[in-house]
């Protein structure tokens, strides 16, 4: 079968590899659509980050090259021994967590914090940028009959945003600033509006992404090159600042503006994956009891995310900006998302099936 494999930084190849075989408690899935994630781009531009190189991943037991892709939908084509929840023909998505199930975090049900955590499509256990993949049934979810495979492929990034909002203890009527309008930033805006946010302010430099932010539900989009965003935020919140900031840029400017825009006892949630260190004066926290917390992926949010996408509470309209064939994923996918027109794209979906294009 064809698959896109990461070999090293800026070296992704579409190759013929052996088709995976179904094993006990696993289901085999024929991939329909797979999104290219920001973490895939990090691996492409500056990896390895999550991908095991040199030392085998403790759960997959493999090293690079690895099959990429973890935001995908597909059809069950085979079930392994012991599988009880799925049958051939079921329409599904994968929650791409690879966890040990035995460490303290896993035993508390916080499997996204597993001490040996990996991600399908990053750790060497297979992935969605392929014709087929195999995964444990406990992390596979059925999708409603009326939900398209395309929309189902958006559940994973939306679940990241939904988890960050839950981790923030965000409440109906709270206010927020979202730093950045990439796919996760836009997903966060949509999920905040769905969660009953009173006011959602967004940091985004001048580009088409400002319009994307407004379409996602942002009440106000501000360019840090044009205005002092923390001052504007204070004006809009009776001088106090927002309840929660969501950092999705992975850049110092987003981190700084997020902290400065918070009210006393406010919380900044860091969702972004960082390639460089960040610096700040801890007195920013000490003098106003602000909090900085991290959030990683999701846990137990997939059913809610599927429901909200299916009934329209999360619309994701215009979220998909391009569709490409797996054969062309390097140039038309990764190239487009890292080239001169990268700002115009939100989510690029990839399919191994030419008939879907």
Residues 246-259: pLDDT tens digits?
A: 999 999 999 999 99
Residue 304, in any domain of the structure: no
**Which domain range does residue 149 map to?**
2-154+319-356
Asked whether residue 20 carries a pLDDT value surpassing 90, the answer given is: yes
CATH code for the domain of 197: 3.40.50.720
Asked whether residue 8 carries a pLDDT value surpassing 90, the answer given is: yes
Question: Do residue 164 and residue 133 come from a single domain?
Answer: no
182-215 b/e (C-beta count within 10 Å ≥ 16 → b): bbbbbbbbbbbbbbebebbbbbbbeeebbebbbe
Report in angstroms the alpha-carbon separations of 119 from 33, 94, 123: 18, 11, 6
Token output for 331: 């140039």
Question: Do residue 143 and residue 44 come from a single domain?
Answer: yes
Rounded CA-CA distance 80/99 in Å is: 19
Residue 149, in any domain of the structure: yes
* Percent helix, strand and coil across the chain, each to the nearest 5: 30, 25, 45
Q: pLDDT tier at 40 (50, 70, 90 boundaries)? A: very high
Residue 308, in any domain of the structure: no
Question: Do residue 95 and residue 216 come from a single domain?
Answer: no
Asked whether residue 275 carries a pLDDT value surpassing 90, the answer given is: no
User: Looking at residues 75-102, what average pLDDT do you find?
Assistant: 98
Return the percentage of the chain with pLDDT > 70, whole number: 100
Query: What number of residues does the chain have?
Result: 357
Question: Do residue 7 and residue 120 come from a single domain?
Answer: yes
CATH code for the domain of 6: 3.90.180.10
Residue 342, in any domain of the structure: yes
Rounded CA-CA distance 185/157 in Å is: 10
Residue with tokens 């980050």: 49
How many independent structural domains does the chain possess? 2
Residue 262, in any domain of the structure: yes
In Å, how far from its chain's centre is CA 281?
Answer: 29
């Amino acid at each position: 079968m064809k698959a896109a494999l990461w070999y090293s930084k800026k070296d992704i190849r579409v190759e013929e590899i052996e088709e995976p075989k179904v094993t006990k408690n696993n289901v085999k899935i024929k991939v329909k659509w797979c999104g290219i994630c920001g973490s895939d781009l990090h691996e492409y531009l500056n990896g390895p980050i999550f991908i095991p190189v040199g030392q085998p991943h403790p759960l997959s037991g493999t090293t690079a090259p690895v099959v990429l892709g973890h935001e995908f939908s597909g059809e069950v084509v085979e079930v392994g021994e012991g599988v009880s929840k799925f049958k051939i023909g079921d329409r599904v998505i994968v929650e791409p967590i690879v966890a040990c199930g035995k460490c303290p975090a896993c035993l508390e049900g916080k499997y996204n914090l597993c001490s040996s955590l990996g991600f399908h499509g990053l750790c060497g256990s297979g992935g969605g940028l392929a014709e087929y993949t195999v995964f444990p049934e406990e992390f596979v979810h059925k999708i409603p009959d009326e939900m398209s495979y395309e929309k189902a492929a958006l559940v994973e990034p939306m679940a990241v945003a939904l988890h960050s909002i839950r981790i923030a203890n965000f409440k109906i009527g709270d206010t927020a600033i979202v730093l950045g309008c990439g796919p996760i930033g836009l997903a966060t805006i949509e999920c905040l509006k769905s969660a009953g946010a009173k006011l959602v302010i967004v940091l985004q430099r001048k580009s088409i992404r400002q319009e994307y932010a407004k379409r996602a539900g942002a009440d106000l989009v501000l360019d840090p090159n044009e205005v002092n965003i923390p001052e504007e935020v204070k004006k809009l919140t009776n001088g106090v600042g927002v309840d929660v900031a969501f950092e999705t840029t992975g850049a110092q400017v987003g981190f700084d503006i997020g902290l400065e825009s918070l009210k006393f006892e406010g919380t900044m949630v860091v969702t972004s994956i960082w390639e460089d260190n960040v610096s700040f004066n801890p007195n920013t926290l000490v003098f106003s009891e602000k909090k900085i917390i991290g959030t990683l992926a999701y846990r137990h949010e997939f059913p809610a995310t599927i429901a909200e996408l299916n009934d329209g509470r999360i619309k994701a309209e215009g979220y998909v900006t391009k569709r490409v064939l797996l054969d062309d994923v390097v140039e038309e996918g990764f190239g487009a998302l890292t080239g001169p027109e990268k700002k115009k794209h939100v989510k690029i979906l990839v399919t191994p099936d030419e008939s879907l294009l």
